[in-house]
Structure 1
Amino acid sequence: MATKTAPDSSRRSERSRRAIYDAALALISEIGYSKTTIEGIAARAGVGKQTIYRWWSSKGEVLLEAFLDLGERNAAAAAEAAGVDPADARHIPDTGDLAADLKYVLRATVDELSDPAFEAPYRALAAEGMVNREVSERYVEKLLEPGLQLYAARLRAAQEAGDVRADVDPRIGLELFVSPLAQRWLQGTGELTHAYVDTLVDYALNGLSPR
């Protein structure tokens, strides 16, 4: 008589978690954040809403984790396609040309922000963070701050190489090109293009006064 193998609960939980992530991202894109509910996510994922509440306390938390997971999977796929270690792909390149390195990363950011798979959930997270302190804190900690640290590290390396003034605060310096990009994207005040972010970098590094 064949021996029955007990179901692997960890594998089952991972399948459920993945289904919930996919359902949350799909609903945000299809009907918007305000109309998306825990019940709707559960129904779309084929799980009970109790399963969701066992892991998360709100749809904002579900969306944040789903978005972070999407970013990690896409980054891993991009690194694999480029034949590089995923850990290396999380760093801003240091070719010795600061302007070129910043433009390279900001162009990739523009492409990502223009991708419908990212745009809808990213906008929803930004909006939810304005009214939900807990989501806002996790949004900054898990999503924004790691990226800003990469820019700050690259600017510090440029300072050590003599390419940036020693008295510049890297955390303020990075805002010269990161913040205008974020504002244009959030407010829709203009197109997001590679030429735009190239110009941001040129203005930030060279200033506005005559040379």
Structure 2
Amino acid sequence: MAPQKAPDSSRRSDRSRRAIYDAALALVGEAGYARTTIEGIAARAGVGKQTIYRWWPSKSAVLMEAFLDMAARRSDGAGEPAIPDTGDLAADLRAVLRATVDELNDPATEAPTRALTAEGVIDPALAARFVEDLLEPQLQLYVTRLRAAQEAGDVRADADPRVALELLVAPLTHRWLLRTLPLTHEYADAVVDHALRGLTPRP
């Protein structure tokens, strides 16, 4: 009679974590952040709430890790994709801002992003992790592309890439946060056109 294998606790833990991630993201999307609870996440994931408290100190920490995991899975573990460099800066920036619009309007990412953004206002530690783990890697892609454009003579040599990228990213974020007007591809294109008028070298 073949000996029985001992249960693989690491595999069981991975399954539990995945279930908790999925439950947290689903509940925030369905009920909103305020009505999402550790108890609700545990029930949805089919685990005890003590399992969650053993791994995370709060529901915001659960949601943050679930969101980072979702972002990693969407990029297939390849890290942040580079902004294209076709030699046409305007076209490259329009492409990436249009993709950003699509992501911000995607129901799968909109609710957890709004929740983490709002909670970060009152939780400095969460805000710091949100910036360090999620936002900063994305912003660095803009810095890299804008520096390449400077070297090619397409952007003024005296332009600060960190300030310049805010001309592109901040308007989209502002409109998305306030929900005052639709966030569209046409708006993204207009943002690029307006920003580049101030960034391109003048004769």
TM-score, normalised to structure 2's length? 0.95
Structure-2 residue corresponding to 1:191: 182
Matched length: 200
Structure-1 residue corresponding to 2:69: 69
- CA shift for structure 1 position 28: 0.2
For the pair 1:151 / 2:138, whether they are aligned, the reply is no
For the pair 1:170 / 2:161, whether they are aligned, the reply is yes
Q: Counterpart amino acid of 1:133?
A: P
CA deviations over 1:97-151 (Å, ceiling 9, x no partner)? 1111111111011111111111111100100001111111101111111111111
Q: Identity of counterpart residues, as a percentage?
A: 69
Structure-1 residue corresponding to 2:18: 18
Structure-1 residue corresponding to 2:78: 86
- CA shift for structure 1 position 55: 1.4
The equivalences for 1:1-211 within 5 A come to: 1-76=1-76, 86-87=78-79, 90-207=81-198
CA deviations over 1:172-208 (Å, ceiling 9, x no partner)? 0000010010000000121111110011001000139
- Partners of 2:125 and 2:43 in 1: how far apart? 25
Structure 2's unaligned 5+ residue stretches are none
Secondary structure of the corresponding residue to residue 67 of structure 2 = helix
Structure 1's unaligned 5+ residue stretches are 77-84
Q: Counterpart amino acid of 1:6?
A: A
Runs of 4+ aligned residues of structure 1 deviating over 2 Å after TM superposition are none
Please provide the CA RMSD for this pair: 1.6
Secondary structure of the corresponding residue to residue 4 of structure 1 = coil
CA deviations over 1:75-113 (Å, ceiling 9, x no partner)? 22xxxxxxxx935x6111111111111111110111111
TM-score, normalised to structure 1's length? 0.91
